[in-house]
Chains A and B, each alone.
Chain A
Amino acid sequence: GAVVSQHPSWVICKSGTSVKIECRSLDFQATTMFWYRQFPKQSLMLMATSNEGSKATYEQGVEKDKFLINHASLTLSTLTVTSAHPEDSSFYICSARTSWGIDNEQFFGPGTRLTVL
């Protein structure tokens, strides 16, 4: 089956630093990847849609300068949280959309737990 990995699985950083999270589709090419944010005991909030070779499309209310997304290849998208603050602490999940399966099925990564001190 299709596998999506995320790296790192968890990260702790100091306030003001930037953190990069990688999302990789390991055995398929994904022209579209999605980045979600999940707060404890809450649903997934879509942050942005990342298309290979073009600028990401951000959802309303998501700061594009704060959350930089780069989809440089068909198997890799990165999310950089710039000048992170404690309120950015969250669980970040990516998904990669396939070109087959039901309605171009999405496969989800295992998530990255970000803690900003």
Chain B
Amino acid sequence: GEDVEQSLFLSVREGDSSVINCTYTDSSSTYLYWYKQEPGAGLQLLTYIFSNMDMKQDQRLTVLLNKKDKHLSLRIADTQTGDSAIYFCAETAPSNTGKLIFGQGTTLQVKP
């Protein structure tokens, strides 16, 4: 079945770049997403990439997609303490039901 895997924890210093990695299994996903969850809150869509793209940049965020290896990454430039949160990657389920399959989430800790 579909599966999305992420590393669980990343710690960086303020001002450094953060790179969060994700692997997925369903090659038919049309879109791949990155969501941010702050403590005790719901999910906020950060960015997404269409499956026929290799890269997408949106201000401090850069998404890289390697379809051959089914690998997705999110790079946050100039990481700030406000970026501390849990980051989830997600892919759409094969059927057109709108279902999302989430990874386990990567906790990003930003040290001042």
Q: Which residues of A contact B (CB under 8 A)?
A: 4, 6, 32, 34, 41-44, 46, 49, 93, 95, 97, 102-111, 113
Contacts and interface: CB of A to CB of B under 8 A. Distances in A.
Contacts, number: 53
A102 B105 contact: no
Given A42-B104, A44-B88, A108 B99 contact: no
B44 to A, nearest CB: 7
Contact of B92 (A42, A103, A107): A103
B42 A42 contact: no
Contacts of A97: 98
Nearest to A9: B40
Contacts of A109: 42
B43 A93 contact: yes
B33 to A, nearest CB: 9
Contacts of A111: 40-42
Contacts of A110: 41-42
B45 interface: yes
A43 B88 contact: yes
A97 B107 CA distance: 26
B24 interface: no
A97 B48 CA distance: 16
Nearest to A59: B99
A107 B42 CA distance: 9
Nearest to A110: B42
A108 B42 contact: yes
B51 to A, nearest CB: 10
A106 B43 CA distance: 10
